Structure 1
Amino acid sequence: MRPFTYSRAKDPSSAIKMLAQNPNAKFLAGGTNLLDLMKEDVERPDALIDISELGLSDINLISAGTNQGGISLGGLSKNTATANHPLVRQNYPLLTQAILAGASGQLRNMATNGGNLLQRTRCPYFYEVAMPCNKREPGTGCGAKEGINRMHAIFGWSEQCVAVYPSDMAIALAALDAVVKVRSASGQERSISMADFHRLPGDQPEKDTNLAHGELITAIELPKNRFADKSYYLKVRDRASYAFALISVAAALEMDQANGPGNRIKQVRIAMGGVAHKPWRALKAEQMLVGKEATEANFNLAASAEMADARPLEHNAFKVELGKRSIVLALKMAFNGGKA
Structure 2
Amino acid sequence: MNRFSFTRANSVPEAVRAGGGADTRFLAGGTNLIDLMKENVERPSALVDINRVGLAGIEERPGGGLRLGALVSNADTAYDRRVAERYPLLACAILAGASPQLRNAATNGGNLNQRTRCYYFYDTATPCNKRNPGTGCGAIGGVNRIHAILGASPSCIATNPSDMCVALAALNATVRVTGPDGEREIAFADYHRLPGDAPQHDNTLRTGELVTAIDLPDEDFSAHHTYLKLRDRLSYAFALVSVAVALRMEGDRIAEARIALGGVAHKPWRVPAAEQALAGQPASAENFDRAAELLLRGAQGQGHNDFKIGLARRAIRRALRQAAAGTPQSQTDKRIA
Residue deviations 1:215-274, cap 9 Å, x none? Answer: 111100010112111000000000000000000000010013xxxxx1111100000000
- Name the residue aligned to 1:62: 61
CA positional deviation for 1:304 = 2.1
Find 1:163's aligned residue among 158, 162, 166: 158
CA positional deviation for 1:76 = 0.7
2-structure distance, mates of 1:49, 1:132: 29
Matched, 1:201 2:195: yes
Matched, 1:49 2:48: yes
Matched, 1:131 2:126: yes
Residue deviations 1:168-195, cap 9 Å, x none? Answer: 0000000000000001124x11100110
Gapped regions of structure 1 (runs ≥ 5) = 257-261
SS in 1 for 2:19: helix
- Name the residue aligned to 1:75: 70
After superposition, where does 1:78-227 map in structure 2 within 5 Å?
78-186=73-181, 188-227=182-221
Q: Is 2:270–2:295's contact at 8 Å kept on the other side of the alignment?
A: no
Q: Is 1:164–1:275's contact at 8 Å kept on the other side of the alignment?
A: yes
Q: Is 1:254–1:268's contact at 8 Å kept on the other side of the alignment?
A: yes
Q: Which amino acid aligns with 1:204?
A: A
CA positional deviation for 1:275 = 0.5
Matched, 1:17 2:13: no
Q: Is 1:272–1:281's contact at 8 Å kept on the other side of the alignment?
A: yes
Q: TM-score normalized by structure 1? A: 0.95
Q: Is 2:130–2:199's contact at 8 Å kept on the other side of the alignment?
A: yes
2-structure distance, mates of 1:322, 1:28: 36
After superposition, where does 1:190-339 map in structure 2 within 5 Å?
190-256=184-250, 262-339=251-328
- Name the residue aligned to 1:3: 3
Q: Which amino acid aligns with 1:202?
A: G
1-structure distance, mates of 2:277, 2:301: 23
| CA RMSD, Structure 1 to Structure 2 (Å) | 0.9
Q: Is 1:272–1:282's contact at 8 Å kept on the other side of the alignment?
A: no
- Name the residue aligned to 1:259: none
**Paired residue total:** 329
CA positional deviation for 1:92 = 0.2
Q: Is 1:75–1:217's contact at 8 Å kept on the other side of the alignment?
A: yes
Q: TM-score normalized by structure 2? A: 0.96
Gapped regions of structure 2 (runs ≥ 5) = 329-336
2-structure distance, mates of 1:305, 1:211: 30
1-structure distance, mates of 2:69, 2:297: 38
Q: Which amino acid aligns with 2:191?
A: F
CA positional deviation for 1:305 = 2.6
1-structure distance, mates of 2:151, 2:297: 13
Q: Which amino acid aligns with 1:224?
A: D
Q: Is 2:87–2:220's contact at 8 Å kept on the other side of the alignment?
A: no
1-structure distance, mates of 2:310, 2:232: 16
